[in-house]
Every structure is written in structure tokens, then in C-alpha cells.
Structure 1
Amino acid sequence: MTVTSPAATVAAPHTGLNRITADDDLFFKLHSLYPNALVNQLAYRFDTALDPDLLARWHAHLATGFIARRVRTTRFPIARAHWEPATESLPLRWSDTPVPDDAVLDWYLDRAAVEFDPARGLVWELSGAHTESGATVVTLVASHVACDGGGMMHAIVDSLDRLNRGEEPDRGASAGRLVGPVAGRRRSAADLADACGQLRAVVRGVRAARRARGVSEPARNPRPAEPLLPHAPTWQAADAIVQVDLAEWESVAAAHGGTSNGLLVGVAVGLLGRSGRISDGADVRVDIPHSMRGADDPRANATTGLPISVTYRRGERTDLPAVRAALKAAGRAYGDPATIPPIQHLQPVQMLLPKVVLHKFARTAKAPECLCTNMGRTAQQIAVLGGHRARDVIMRPVVNPGPVELFRRVEVGVNLAFSCDDDTATLVVTGADPDRFPTRETLRQLLAAEFADWGLSPRFW
């Protein structure tokens, strides 16, 4: 399932051990319960046949870069674990069997199923293959324990820049230097000091939570109990990749008084309504990841979630000016500790919870009903691999196959991820409610109808 961290924590210092944040800790503990559920994926499609040796050289840069990290736990129960450079990685996964051109999306989905081990540093995998028409498909998959979308982008930009300049892999000269040092002999003293700091953070957090106890977030809609469609015990969420001319996307957004980001939210809410997941007039909670990553930021995860409430009206387009106002208000609220909900002040307390307790909470937790990730103009920053420019670049949070009853229990809805270059807007859409988006074809039909209402001309993969 896709999980949005409730709040970002302060960046770790550049000296000493690079301690994990509350976000990292949450994903690390959830990894033992849902090992392959929280994954980010970069996918390329090139028109030419790339040499596998080129991917091997890129792999070498990634293996000494920003996501080449492992979790090192502590001897003190209260002290935080920390990041250390990984000394091993999953090998390049090159397929000698050409991929059918009409099965590229399925190939991407298959390559997202990876067994990761954060304690060993096996937290990412690079794969590639030629297609039957002589093109090349490439995918990089990374565990959410090791990076959020911004961290993954940092690792990709840095490694590709070094590769394209012909430089040799070098942890000290690349973004890999930010991961942190290997713990030395004085680790026990450092852990004791961190444990004391964590206790102080708990006290501050509890006090802040008490002061903010009147603050609340938008509520989510319960999942309707009916219908329950027949499915196999293990279910693959419906995925679609759709592209639109960027000029058309921005023109439609402006014509309806909104922004590119607002139109993304508007389409998502309309899609959720068309599926029958929510009723006419319902206020939909939309979660929007927002990067808090700064320059030379060593954190694996540095993202906060901005929740807003958006009204769905059957037969009408989403009110984009209202979305714009809600986004501005949410940004202001999350910039002031006095208007941050209590649960987010309690992240230091969350880090003290043993894994068994967190697992109990996780089994009753709910996934976002509507998650909209806007990565902006990221595609053009990472489109060139060894002198070859990709025809398409896609980044997306992955919803991997799982028990159909798990999808129903956590009440996951729709996830939309948007990115663009100078010409094309690309949306990766996941309908993860098995009874509203039972098949990929159902999802495409609903998307096509929603796009038509906005006057958009989608191109489906």
C-alpha cells in the first residue's frame, strides 16, 4: 500500500551518525509486516537498443551513491538506528528475452516485485531488457525505507550526471558521501547521548500535542461495504499510464481557474466519484506529498503530507479555485506548529513503539482514499542515459499485488502520480479498490470519461 508520512522531521546534521528519522523508522518497521508493499519506481522507454554494459556502469554508480545505504540498529532501546554505506547490492537484472511491445506496462509491474533487505543494504534493483521491436525498457525500483521520491530523484540525478560525464564510481565524490560514516569505537557513547535526546524529544512532543489537541485533519470516507466482486485471493491493483500534451493540460487548468496541480486533484476526485467509491456531495480527503528536502540533505525520507478536503459533485467538474484555496490553506497550516495535528507532534513517541505494537496498529490503519503526487518537471532532468535520450520517463509509487481482503480492509482508493517534460504530461494512475477498479480496462474507461469531461485528449499506453 502507498503510505504518506504525516510530517517531515528536521534534517540530520552532516557530522556524526546519520540517524534515521521517524519516517524512516515507520517504513523500516512496516517492512517486516509488508516487505514489498512500499516501493518507488523509475521507468524508462528508449527507442534504441541500449548496450547492457551501459546499465552495468550506471549500476556501479548507484551502488556507491545516495540510496546505497543500510540500517544499522543500536544497542540502546531508545537510541535511534542510523544509516551506514551499503557494501553490497542486488545485481543488475538484465533479461535476454525480448519484451513484447504491448506488454511493457506489465513488464514494469513485474519488475517492481523485489525482495529487499534494509539491514544488508539490499534496497534497490536496476533492471533492463530489449523489446521485440528493438527498443529498450529500463526500471529502477527502490524501497521506501531507503528513499522517498525526492531521495530517489537525488540519487538518480547524481549518478546519471557522473555517468554521463564519464567519471568513475566514487562514494566520497558523489551523493553517497551524505549517507554517513561507519560507526566507530565511540558508538556506545553516541547512542547513549541520542537516547537522552530522544527522551527530551518525547517530552517536547507530548507538550506540543497537548497544546494542539483541538486541531484536526480532514476526515476520510468509509469504504462502501457493497458490492463485493469475485476476485482471486491475491489481487493486482489496476494500473494505467496516460499522457497528454502539456500545453493542453496547462490550458485546461487555467481555463477552469486552477493550476496544473489543482487539475491533478480535480481529475483524481472525479475518477473516485465515477467509480462509485464516494457519494454525491461527499468531501474527499486528498493527501498530497510535499518534499521538505534541502541541499545536501542526508535523510532517506523527507516528505510531509498535506491533506485537503475537496467536494465531489456528480455530473460536475471539480471546483479548481476551491482546490487552489485549500492547498494554500494546508501549506500555511503545516508551517505553524500550533496548527499541526497532535499525532504529528508524537513522532518521537512513535519511534519508541516496539515492532509488535506498530504491527498491531498497522493492521487496523487505513490507506489514503485519494493520493496525488506531483513531481513536476522531473522527467527532463533524468532523461539522458549515457548519451541516449529516453522517449518516456515515468516515476510512480508502487502498489504491489497482495491479498484482496487486505486491499478492502485498509480501504485504499486511487493513487495518481504526475510528471512532465517540456512537451508531455504523464500520469500514472492506480485504482486499488478491487470492487471499484476491478480491471485495468475498467480504470481506463473511467479515466477516459473523466478526461473527456475536462476536454483533455489522453493517450493510453
Structure 2
Amino acid sequence: MTAVLNRLTADDDLFLKLHDLYGNALVNQLAWRFDEPLDPAVLQRFHAHLAHGFLSRRVMTTAVPFARPWWVAAAEAEPLAYQDRPVPEDGVLDWFFAQSRVEFDPVSGRMWRLSAAPTGSGGTLLSLVTSHVSSDGGAVLYAVGDALRRLDADETPDIATSSGRLVGSSSVNVPLRTHLADALGQLRAAAASLRTAYASRDVTEPERNPRPAEPRRLLGDRYTAADLVVEVDAAEWNSVAEAHDGTANGLLVGVAVGIAGRSGRVADGAAVRVDIPHSMRGVDDPRANATTGLPIAVLYRKGEHTDLRGVRTAIKQAARAYADPATTPALQHLQPVQQMLPRFVLGYFSRTAKAPECLCTNLGETGQGVATLAGVRARSVLMRPVVCTGETELFRRLEIGLNLSWSSDGETVTLAITGADPDRFPTRAALREYVLDEFESWGLRPRFWS
């Protein structure tokens, strides 16, 4: 009988190869702020459930050409990092960012870290940083939700009865015929993808704006992206969106485009490419990454609000287009070919690869499903991509732009904003000024985490 393996998807494979090229340049972070203290023993039990759950996976490879790597349960994990020294209220953002400084290893399975610290006001900060190789946002929320439920039920950490059962067999002894069959299947998929890509060769998607060469600031060799966390009353956010004939999601995009324009990243009259992640995750879905991106073009006009009705229409059109292979761009069909490329070939192409110009992630109220830990409810929960400190010239070459992540608990909207262009967002203070001006223009009153 042929073994059924949880093979890496094309997205998993791409993130794995990018990890080899750039290390932990980009990680995801789920962050909690509690007003009450959390018992370290409870956090240890929570960590144990995570260590036996959906995040606990490592990569296995085979020497059979074109056969895909596969996931097995990880035998080890980064230990809980608990800091005894209280974090001052004006150091919360810096503490959260500091948790991203961790070296992950897809081979050993050390691809997530849980950290906690008390605050000066008697609360607790909790951070879960994860590698994009092993999990997208949906996978993290699923793994954490399962761990919290098992913690509340006082169950024993166990792979077989938790979300860890979906990861795959822990056996490394896979019959050769299994890999040969997968290699043949990949060759067939690649051939089919080439035919489909050729058929859709005339389908286009929004182009990104090149990064302006000037001004070029005198900066050091290393750069840390500017990051902010902003809160707004949900009623206020929704009221402003409705007043401009838009949705909460449309206002997220509108604000992002306005900030990009104010920074000088895009010119007056330019069509900004905005990428919107869209989850494809199903019930008991074993995939580490199950997200696609919907690209739309949004016009920026200096001194004017973004057309929210136009944003809503563009998102609907992009969703319909990507649901039909005939209207999906050719490059999207070539994932089986991309997965067969060796790392050195991807490294060659990565010299001209570009990061998203503007990325807008709407998590809705999904974070509320993981807001309560052992009966203690967090004041705030957010998920965000963290762009780690790196070479300044690498940021310029990749042309990383602006990332926004939106979530709400029904009462408060929480926005994580990251500006990663060294010459437009050299400091957190510079980003804050653009955000203040943009929010004020919409009539929004932001409250900043310090």
C-alpha cells in the first residue's frame, strides 16, 4: 500500500527556498496584551499543547528528483521564553519586535517560539512568532485555537488526538516507489501547468510601481522597518467607511494607499498595486500555507480620499478572476514548475524579485477565537507580519513597501502597520506622522501603542 504523505505545497516550497536565501527575513507574529498576570505554569501547559499540535512539523526530503519534500511531526520545539523583568508601558512595541529575533530551522522543526513577559502595570505580554515556511495566518489561528481548547479541557498534550494528527506520519522510512510516484505526478502537473499557462498568456494583473530612486537618505548598513500598532473605535471605523460608500475592508485599503502616497512611495495619479491575502483553508486542512493573494489596482490622488466604492468593485472582480483558471495570470499556473526548480535557480531569479508594494490583510474577528487563555481574556489580540532587521540595501533592492494587518473584536479595530522602505519610513516617528495625517483626513481618531 502506498504511503500518503503530507507533501509541501508550492507555497511551502517557495517559503522554504526563500528561508535558505534570506533566513528569517519575514516572520508572522500573534500578539496578546493582557491586563492581568498569567500564571507561568499555565503558559508552560499551553506551550506543551502547541508543541504537540499543528505547528509542530519539520521538513523531510528525498534524493529522488522532482519528488516533493513532506511534513512529519517535529520532535523538538523552542522552549517557552519567559522574561521576569517587567516591560514598561512605553516599551511594549519594542518588546514585541524583539521576539522576532530568533533563528528558525525547518529541518529540526524549530519554527515557532512562544514568549511572555509581565508589564509594569501588572499585565502580561504574550507573543507567538512563527516561520512562514510552516504556517500562514490561518494555520497559526487553527493551531492556537486547538491548543487553547485542549488547555481548557485539561487534556494531555498529544499529537494523535490534537491538530497535530493532521501534520503527517512521524515515520521517515518511506518506500522508494512512493517518491517515484510523486515525481511522476509532478512531471505531469508541470506539463499540464505549461499548457494552462500558455492558454492564459494574455491575462494580466496590476503592475507594481517601481520604487523611486530619490530621495536616498544617508542610513547605516542595517535597517529596522518602522512599525506601529493603532487602535480605533470600531463604530467610528465602520461609520467612516459607510459615509464614503465603502466597507471596513475598503477603508483599510484606502488608508494604506493614502499613507503610501503621503510618504512619496507612489506618485500623484499612480495606480497602486495592493495585494490582499485570501484564505483557501478548509476543514481539517493539513497544509502549512493555504493562502492566495488577490491583486488590485487603486488610484492615488494627492489631497483626495481613495474611492472606496471602486475598491469594493476591484476586490470582487479580482476574486472572480482568480476563481477561474482561464482568467488567472500565467505565472500562477506555473507553481508545479517553480517547485521543481533547484534553489540556485531560484536564487538567480531572486536577484530581480520584488516584494509587495502594498499588502493589506484583513483578519476580521478571527483573532477573538484565541483571545482567552485559561479564562483570562486579552485586552488586545493582533496578528502581523514582522519584517526583521536586515541590510539596508537589501530592503532597497527588494522594494518592500507598506504592510497593514486589520482585526477587530467588534468594539475596537486594531491595525498593525509596517513601513519597510528605508528612505520613506526611516523611523517609527516618520511613519506615525503619515498615519496621523491620513487618519485625520478621514476623521479617524487613532490611539497608538507605545
TM (norm. structure 2) is 0.98
Query: Which stretch of structure 1 is more off in the superposition, 69-78 or 197-206?
Result: 69-78
Given candidates 327, 344, 369, the residue that maps to 1:356 is 344
Is the 1:124–1:141 contact (alpha carbons within 8 Å) kept by the matching residues of 2? Answer: yes
Q: Please say if 1:156 is aligned against 2:132.
A: no
Large movers: runs of 4+ above 2 Å: 182-187
Please name the residue that 1:9 is paired with: none
How far 1:407 moved relative to its partner? 0.8
Tell whether 2:70 aligns with 1:82.
yes
1:280-429 alignment to 2 at 5 Å? 280-429=268-417
- Please give the alpha-carbon distance, in whole angstroms, between the structure 2 residues aligned to 1:48 and 1:59: 19
Q: Tell whether 2:63 aligns with 1:62.
A: no
Rounded Cα–Cα distance in structure 1 between residues aligned with 2:232 and 2:172: 52
2:88 aligned residue: 100
Matched, 1:138 2:119: no
Gaps of 5+ in 2: none
Aligned equivalents of 1:201 and 1:145: distance in 2? 22
Q: Decide whether the 8 Å contact of 2:72 with 2:170 is kept in 1.
A: yes
Name the CA distance, whole Å, in 2 between partners of 1:422 and 1:229: 41
Displacement, 1:311? Answer: 0.3
Once the two structures are TM-superposed, the CA of residue 275 in structure 1 deviates from its matched residue by: 0.4
Q: CA RMSD in A?
A: 1.0
Residue equivalent to 1:432: 420
Q: Distance in 1 between matches of 2:244 and 2:120?
A: 43
SS at match of 2:85: strand
Are 1:201 and 2:203 counterparts? no
SS in 2 for 1:317: coil
- What is the CA–CA distance in structure 2 between the aligned matches of 1:296 and 1:139, rounded to whole Å? 25
Quote the Cα distance in structure 2 between the aligned partners of 1:60 and 1:398: 24
Q: Aligned residue for 1:448?
A: 436
User: In the aligned structure 1, how far is the partner of 2:340 from the partner of 2:171?
Assistant: 22
Amino acid at match of 1:345: H
- Percent sequence identity over aligned pairs: 61
Cα–Cα, structure 1 residues 163 and 224, in superposed 2: closer, same or farther, change >3 Å? Answer: same
Q: 3-state SS of the aligned residue for 1:415?
A: strand
Q: Deviations over 1:381-414 (max 9, x none)?
A: 1110111111111110111111111111111110
Q: What's 1:32 paired with?
A: 20
Q: Distance in 2 between matches of 1:417 and 1:179?
A: 27
Distance 2:406 2:157 in 1: 31
Equivalences for residues 233-252 of structure 1 within 5 A: 233-252=221-240
CA 1:215–1:391 in structure 2 vs 1: closer, same or farther (change >3 Å)?
same
Q: Which residue identity is paired with 2:334?
A: L
Q: How does 1:3-18 map to 2 (within 5 A)?
A: 16-18=4-6
For the residue of structure 1 that corresponds to 2:21, the secondary structure is coil
CA separation in 1, counterparts of 2:227 and 2:149?
31
TM-fit CA distance, 1:171:
0.9
Check conservation: 1:75, 1:188, Cα contact below 8 A: no
Structure 1 stretches lacking a partner, 5+ long: 1-14
User: How many residue pairs align between the two structures?
Assistant: 447
Query: How many angstroms apart in 2 are the aligned matches of 1:290 and 1:169?
Result: 31
Q: Could you say which residue in structure 2 is the equivalent of 1:270?
A: 258
The whole-number CA distance in structure 2 between the counterparts of 1:171 and 1:227 is 53
Does the CA-based 8 Å contact 1:75-1:191 persist in structure 2? no
Kept after mapping to 1: 8 A contact 2:231/2:413:
yes
Q: CA deviation at 1:133?
A: 2.1
1:105 Cα offset (Å): 0.5
In structure 2, what is the Cα distance between the partners aligned to 1:271 and 1:372? 12
Please give the secondary structure, in 2, of the residue aligned with 1:96: coil
1:17–1:183 CA contact under 8 A, matched in 2: no
Question: How big is the shift at 1:16?
Answer: 1.1
Question: Quick check: 1:227 aligned with 2:215?
Answer: yes
